[in-house]
């Protein structure tokens, strides 16, 4: 689900999630509906082994082999929860070759989350998934340049969730530029949210992509997560970029929360 308010929180409504870059937070302040990466191309099998698809229609990434990092708006609260199924190991959700599916045991939603900012959550799995994890940024060093987004969300605003993982590249947008787009963007929570996309639109995350990672290469050439798909005003519209939770801001809180699961 990606917040789409007309902005959608990029989580899929009624359990469907997509990665078309639309909005990353609910369609209204109450619903979330993300889509697959809009303007993206199909990811290769094994290209992003840390990617996870969640059964409520969101994305996520393996923070550890037994904990998934996703968006707060994708879950309903904290506590015991065995209702979520995490799928990993495949780009084709219908493939059974290499596919791993594990149920959740607990969920921890960001403390103080109220729909604005702090859009992160952790899901503990019943058993580890033997796949590479995605490290998270602990400083703002990598909050610039070009980022990769990926997911199974809608490939167009209002479209269906995707069978195959799509990927796309989006550039960093400064807080000042993002806020200047006005409308929902004037309420950007600087320091907690980071924007990325093209002024002309055309490439974005969308409904169903909520909770998925925005990442780039670090100085050693390894992937590092800098954002979490959160919301946007529609998907891939001009002057309406995707908004992502700024992971480095919450790195310490995420690590502390993970140690309690």
Indicate which residue of 23, 73, 209, 248 is catalytic.
73
Reduce the DSSP state of residue 202 to 3 states and report it: coil
Catalytic (active site) residue 55 = no
Catalytic (active site) residue 73 = yes
How many H-runs (helices) and E-runs (strands) does the chain carry? 2, 17
Interatomic CA distance for residues 74 and 250, integer angstroms: 17
* H-run or E-run covering 34: none
Reduce the DSSP state of residue 123 to 3 states and report it: strand
What is the number of other CB atoms lying within 10 angstroms of the CB of residue 139? 8
Indicate which residue of 23, 104, 119, 230 is catalytic.
119
Those residues with Cβ within 8 angstroms of residue 75's Cβ, 6 or more apart along the chain or in another chain: 56, 81, 84, 107, 109, 121, 123
Q: Check if the beta carbon of residue 68 is closer than 8 Å to that of residue 134.
A: no
Indicate which residue of 210, 230, 245, 248 is catalytic.
210
Interatomic CA distance for residues 75 and 77, integer angstroms: 6
Reduce the DSSP state of residue 87 to 3 states and report it: strand
Total residues belonging to the chain = 261
Interatomic CA distance for residues 143 and 152, integer angstroms: 24
Q: List, by residue number, the catalytic residues.
A: 73, 119, 210
């Amino acid at each position: 689900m990606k917040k789409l308010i007309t902005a959608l929180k990029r989580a899929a409504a009624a359990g469907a999630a997509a990665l078309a870059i639309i909005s990353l937070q609910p369609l209204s302040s109450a619903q979330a509906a993300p889509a697959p990466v809009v303007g993206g191309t199909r990811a290769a099998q094994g290209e992003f082994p840390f990617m996870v698809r969640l059964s409520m229609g969101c994305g996520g990434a393996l923070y550890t082999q037994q904990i998934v990092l996703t968006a707060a708006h994708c879950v309903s609260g904290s506590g015991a929860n065995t209702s979520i199924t995490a799928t990993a190991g495949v780009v084709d959700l219908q493939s059974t070759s290499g596919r791993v599916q594990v149920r959740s045991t607990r969920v921890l939603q960001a403390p103080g989350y109220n729909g604005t900012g702090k859009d992160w959550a952790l899901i503990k799995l019943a058993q580890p998934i033997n796949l590479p994890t995605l490290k998270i940024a602990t400083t703002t060093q990598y909050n610039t340049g070009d980022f990769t987004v990926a997911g199974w969300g809608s490939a167009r605003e209002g479209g269906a969730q995707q069978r195959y993982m799509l990927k796309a590249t989006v550039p960093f947008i400064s807080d000042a530029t993002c806020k200047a787009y006005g409308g929902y963007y004037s309420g950007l929570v600087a320091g907690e949210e980071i924007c990325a996309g093209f002024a002309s639109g055309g490439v974005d995350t969308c409904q169903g992509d909520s909770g998925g990672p925005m990442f780039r290469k670090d100085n050693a050439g390894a992937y590092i997560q800098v954002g979490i798909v959160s919301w946007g005003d529609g998907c891939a519209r001009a002057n309406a970029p995707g908004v992502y939770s700024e992971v480095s801001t919450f790195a310490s809180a995420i690590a502390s929360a993970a140690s309690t699961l």
